[in-house]
Amino acid sequence: MLLEYFLFGMMTFHLSGAQNEVTEVFAEAGSQAVLPCKCGPPSARIPAIIWRKDGKSTVWRKQKSGLEYWGYAWSSKTQRVRCPHTMFESGDFSLQIDNVKEEDGGVYSCRVERGVQVIEKTVTLRITRVSVSSSAPIWGSDVSITCNVTPWPLEALVRWTLNDSPFEPQNGAASNTRTAAMEKATGRLTGNWTCVVNYKGQEGRASATLSVQGVIHPPRDDAKVYAAVGSAVTLPCVFSPGLIPSDPVWEKLKPVFLTKPAPGRLPASFSASGPLSPLPSDQSASLKEVGLGDEGRYRCSGVIKGQRLTRNMQLVVAKVHSSVQSQNTGSVTLTCQLTDTGEVTNYEWVHVIYDLKGSRSVGPILEGKTLNISTMSEGNQGEWSCRFYGKDGLLGNVTYHIQQMSGVSGEKPTSVSHNTAATVGLSFLLLVMLLILAQIYKNHQRRKGIFRYPALETIVHTVSNEREERERNAVKKPTRKTSVVG
Ligand SMILES: *[C@@H]1O[C@H](CO)[C@@H](O)[C@H](O)[C@H]1NC(C)=O
Ligand SMILES: *[C@@H]1O[C@H](CO)[C@@H](O)[C@H](O)[C@H]1NC(C)=O
Ligand SMILES: *[C@@H]1O[C@H](CO)[C@@H](O)[C@H](O)[C@H]1NC(C)=O
């Protein structure tokens, strides 16, 4: 009996020793919080339980009789507070709070009476929430993202992640502050923001998404757009869904080495409404046929909520330069040339082969910017494509056509593929002109055929008429003479 009491005493001492420590619980606003109150070891005695907040108001309580009461602030229609009975036998009297609010943050205490045993626990519930000044700020407007913890733990460490990677604030701001970003909204702020709070070995988290409104494609200034000379290209300028820019403007900028970019002339084949712009948020433009001189910087802009948003981009033009190495062997060097190679990491050449059915395949890949091939070889005829890659993959390609004239040594390869349309057009024109010439010649011949004899007749006719006249006169004269004589 004495031993039993002694053991019991030890146990209560141990338990009461544990009751002083405050458990920290973090819960994100809107989620479920579980406030632990574990009073091991399991016991068959019926407990009386009371959960209080901030040392005074009752949250929930249960009498030994089994009657349950909810505190005034917690007895709404949708019960947010629960203490699952099924856990009681194992000595677990944890409190569940659904859909936590910032005002739920505070110090909670649980008091369990089991026979003579009284156990008290304290739990601090801290509600985390990320607040943004605006969840859809306009590009260039001020934006701030703040980590809120209620109540705020003074010595807490705060980290930020944006789309699961650590966020490095600009302007040298410390990264462990409650406010992650207080800067002008740009595309780099778009995404899923999470603040991670560390306090006394516990970790709290909260997330919020931010979507900066403006030109989303291209996502940043000075993005490069690649096009082969002679091809068509789309200059992208897509605003966030739902944004309708007013007064959209496209400009070509003069080169940057002049101190300030000034508007230049837009190319002749420029068309402000792109091929795929049924949406007013899509202000993409297009060039029907890119020329070498079209390379350079372009700017699109539009007014959103009284503010002009702009996006600069650079058009990079690719072409193939060919130089004949040897007239005798017909070998040429093809070089892939781009007006800006800053982003290009590697080049490769492929031979594009069409089979009889017209389906396309490519030959083996030849690495390098230049290609030495013989135009005399049958197998080298057709399209050669230079593909150029950046660190994120394929940037574009440019194609060159080799046509071998049988047996003619040193025949120059014909022009770039993209001129095929023009070549076809020219050939057609030539054919039409030839036909017209042929027709004219034929008509001419026919006319000659018809009128050759009539013309002779005329001459004959005239000659005979003349002779007749002369003869008549000759007859008349003697008559007259006679009459005179007579
Ligand atoms: C944001 O990131 C957090 C942490 O990585 C994740 O739990 C949450 O589901 C994400 N939210 C969205 C909307 O993607
Ligand atoms: C192509 O030929 C030229 C001249 O014959 C030579 O200088 C160059 O190295 C060759 N290039 C390749 C890639 O073989
Ligand atoms: C070149 O680019 C065009 C357009 O992107 C593509 O359709 C074509 O397959 C490419 N050609 C090669 C040989 O990669």
In tens, the pLDDT along 166-184 reads 987 665 555 556 777 667 8
Residue 464 host element (H or E)? helix 420-485
pLDDT bucket at 461, cuts 50 / 70 / 90: low
Looking at the DSSP assignment, which residues form a beta bridge with residue 206?
195
Task: For ligand 2, say whether the CB of 326 is within 6 Å of any of its atoms.
Answer: no
Least confident of 62-66, 222-226, 392-396: 62-66
Q: Could you tell me if 318 and 388 are in contact, meaning their C-beta atoms sit under 8 angstroms apart?
A: yes
User: What's the pLDDT at 168?
Assistant: 73
Task: For ligand 2, say whether the CB of 370 is within 6 Å of any of its atoms.
Answer: yes
Give the ligand 2 atom nearest the CA of 372: 1
**CA atoms of 33 and 95, how far apart (whole Å):** 8
**CA atoms of 26 and 150, how far apart (whole Å):** 9
Report the nearest-CA residue for atom 12 of ligand 2. Answer: 372
Average pLDDT in the chain = 81
Report the nearest-CA residue for atom 11 of ligand 1. Answer: 192
Comparing CA positions, the residue from 310, 311, 314, 275 lying closest to residue 294 is 314
Mean pLDDT of 145-164: 90
User: What's the pLDDT at 419?
Assistant: 43
Q: Could you tell me if 146 and 315 are in contact, meaning their C-beta atoms sit under 8 angstroms apart?
A: no
The values of phi and psi at residue 263, to 5°, are: -65, 140
**CA atoms of 184 and 262, how far apart (whole Å):** 25
* Rg, Å, the chain Cα set: 46
Give the ligand 3 atom nearest the CA of 397: 1
CA distances from 319 to 74, 369, 402 (A): 73, 12, 15
Domain borders along the chain are: 14-126, 133-210, 217-311, 317-409
SS3 per residue for 288-346: CCCCHHHCEEEEEEEEECCEEEEEEEEEEEEEEEEEEEECCCCEEEEEEEECCCCCCCE
Distance of CA 37 to the CA centre of its chain: 51
Report the nearest-CA residue for atom 2 of ligand 3. Answer: 397
Q: Separation of 227 CA from ligand 2 center, angstroms? A: 26
Least confident of 124-128, 136-140, 168-172, 194-198: 168-172
- Maximum distance among all Cα pairs of the chain, rounded to whole angstroms: 200
Q: Separation of 326 CA from ligand 2 center, angstroms? A: 12
Q: Quick one: 133-210 is in which CATH superfamily?
A: Immunoglobulins (2.60.40.10)
- Bond into 218 cis (ω within 30): yes
pTM: predicted TM-score of the whole model, two decimal places: 0.60
- Bond into 41 cis (ω within 30): yes
Which option is the CATH number for 217-311: 3.50.50.60, 3.40.1080.10, 2.60.40.10, 1.10.1200.10? Answer: 2.60.40.10
Highest mean pLDDT among 264-268, 308-312, 399-403, 472-476: 308-312
Comparing CA positions, the residue from 269, 302, 308 lying closest to residue 286 is 269
| Ligand with an atom nearest the CA of residue 323 | 2
pLDDT tens for each residue of 97-120: 999 999 999 999 999 998 888 999
Structural fold of domain 317-409: Immunoglobulin-like (2.60.40)
Q: Do domains 217-311 and 317-409 have the same CATH topology?
A: yes
Q: How far apart are the first and last CA of the chain?
A: 200
**CA atoms of 338 and 26, how far apart (whole Å):** 56
pLDDT tens for each residue of 72-93: 888 877 789 989 888 888 889 9
Q: Does the structural domain 14-126 have CATH classification 2.60.40.10? A: yes
Give one DSSP letter per residue of 90-135, joined into a string: GTB--EEESS--GGG-EEEEEEEEETTEEEEEEEEEEEEEEEES-S
**CA atoms of 228 and 384, how far apart (whole Å):** 13
Comparing CA positions, the residue from 72, 92, 100, 94 lying closest to residue 82 is 94
Length of the chain, in residues? 486
Looking at the DSSP assignment, which residues form a beta bridge with residue 209?
192
Per DSSP, which regions of 391-458 are E strands? 393-402
**CA atoms of 91 and 301, how far apart (whole Å):** 66
Task: For ligand 2, say whether the CB of 425 is within 6 Å of any of its atoms.
Answer: no
Instruction: Say if residue 274's pLDDT is above 60.
Output: no
Q: Separation of 76 CA from ligand 3 center, angstroms? A: 65
User: What's the pLDDT at 429?
Assistant: 66
